[in-house]
C-alpha cells in the first residue's frame, strides 16, 4: 500500500485518463484495474467539461492533476494553481518538458518549479529522470515523492535503465517511488515492482490497447505479482548452474 504525503492508497497502480476510445471504456478500464489514483490533465478536463469531471468522480479514486504539456516554470506553476482551484487538491503531478520529441523532463526547470510549488503548499509528484543528483535536489526542494521515468512517455519500451532505477531505490529507501512513463507490457510493470518501487503510473499502454479493459486487468495482476515477488525476496542471478537436487544421499553405482 503506497503512502503519498501521509495518505495511504490501496492500489499501487496509478492510471491516466487520456486517449481512451470512449468515456465508457475508460470507466470500465479503471474498474478492471482497481487503480487508486487517476491522473488528469487540466487541458483534458477543460476540453471535456462537466460530464468528464462527473465521470472521474464516479470512479471513487483520488485525482492527481498534472501539468502535462508545460515547457516553462511559469507555465507549470500557473497550471498547477489553476488545477488546485478546479480539483480542490494540493496534489500535483509536475511535468516540465524540455524536448517535444522525447518528452524528456527539463530537470533544471523542474527543480525550480517544485520548490515554488512546495513553498506554496502543494504536494508535488515530480516526473523526473533516474539521475540521483536530480532526485536529491527534488527532495531538497520539498518533494516527498519521486516519479522517475521508465522510458519516454508513450514509447512502451519498458525500463530502459534498470540499473539507474535500482540505484534510486537503494539511495532513497524511505522515499515513495513511482515508475512513471514508458510502460508498455504487464511484464514491464511487474519488473518495476520487483525493483521495490511503491507504485507504477501508466496510461497509453491501457488506453491504446486493442482491449483496454483486458489490458487494465493484466496490468493490475502483473503489479500485484511484482509486489509479492519483491516482498518474497528473489534469488540472486548466477553465472553457473546450481542443482536443485543435491548430490548428497544419491545412490552410488
| Separation of alpha carbons 87 and 62, rounded Å | 10
DSSP 102: T
3-state secondary structure of 162: helix
Please say if 208 is a catalytic residue. Answer: no
Closest CA to 124 of 179, 65, 183, 68: 65
Query: Is position 203 annotated in a ligand binding site?
Result: yes
| Separation of alpha carbons 11 and 36, rounded Å | 5
Closest CA to 155 of 93, 217, 203, 211: 203
Q: 44, 84, 93, 115: which one is catalytic?
A: 93
| Separation of alpha carbons 5 and 66, rounded Å | 16
For CA atoms 154, 67, 70, 145, the dihedral sign is: negative
Query: Is position 154 annotated in a ligand binding site?
Result: yes
- Number of CB atoms found within 10 A of residue 110's CB: 27
Question: Which run of H or E residues covers position 42?
Answer: helix 42-48
Query: Is position 66 annotated in a ligand binding site?
Result: no
Q: Kindly give the pairing relationship between strand 176-180 and strand 145-148.
A: parallel
Longest dimension (CA), the chain: 81
Q: Please, are residues 5 and 144 in contact by the beta-carbon 8 Å criterion?
A: yes
Q: Please, are residues 190 and 153 in contact by the beta-carbon 8 Å criterion?
A: no
Tell me the binding residues.
154, 181-182, 203-204
User: So which residues are the catalytic ones?
Assistant: 93
Tell me the binding residues for 1-deoxy-D-xylulose 5-phosphate.
154, 181-182, 203-204
Amino acid at each position: 500500500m503506497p503512502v503519498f504525503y501521509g495518505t495511504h492508497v490501496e492500489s499501487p497502480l496509478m492510471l491516466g485518463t487520456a486517449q481512451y476510445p470512449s468515456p465508457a471504456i475508460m470507466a470500465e478500464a479503471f474498474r478492471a484495474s482497481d487503480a487508486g489514483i487517476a491522473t488528469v490533465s487540466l487541458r483534458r478536463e477543460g476540453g471535456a467539461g462537466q460530464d468528464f469531471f462527473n465521470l472521474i468522480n464516479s470512479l471513487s479514486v483520488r485525482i492527481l492533476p498534472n501539468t502535462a504539456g508545460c515547457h516553462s516554470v511559469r507555465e507549470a506553476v500557473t497550471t498547477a494553481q489553476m488545477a488546485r482551484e478546479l480539483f480542490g487538491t494540493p496534489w500535483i503531478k509536475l511535468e516540465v518538458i524540455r524536448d517535444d520529441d522525447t518528452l524528456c523532463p527539463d530537470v533544471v526547470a523542474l527543480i525550480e518549479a517544485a520548490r515554488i510549488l512546495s513553498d506554496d503548499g502543494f504536494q508535488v509528484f515530480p516526473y523526473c529522470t533516474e539521475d540521483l543528483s536530480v532526485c536529491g535536489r527534488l527532495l531538497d526542494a520539498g518533494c516527498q515523492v519521486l516519479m522517475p521515468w521508465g522510458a519516454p512517455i508513450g514509447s512502451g519500451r519498458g525500463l530502459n535503465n534498470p540499473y539507474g532505477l535500482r540505484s534510486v531505490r537503494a539511495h532513497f529507501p524511505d522515499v515513495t517511488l513511482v515508475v512513471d512513463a514508458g510502460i508498455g507490457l504487464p511484464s514491464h510493470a511487474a519488473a518495476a515492482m520487483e525493483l521495490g518501487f511503491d507504485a507504477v503510473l501508466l496510461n497509453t499502454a491501457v488506453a491504446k490497447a486493442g482491449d483496454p479493459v483486458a489490458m487494465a486487468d493484466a496490468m493490475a495482476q502483473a503489479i500485484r505479482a511484482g509486489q509479492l515477488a519483491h516482498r518474497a525476496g528473489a534469488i540472486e542471478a548466477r553465472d553457473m548452474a546450481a542443482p536443485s537436487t543435491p548430490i548428497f544421499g544419491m545412490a552410488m553405482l
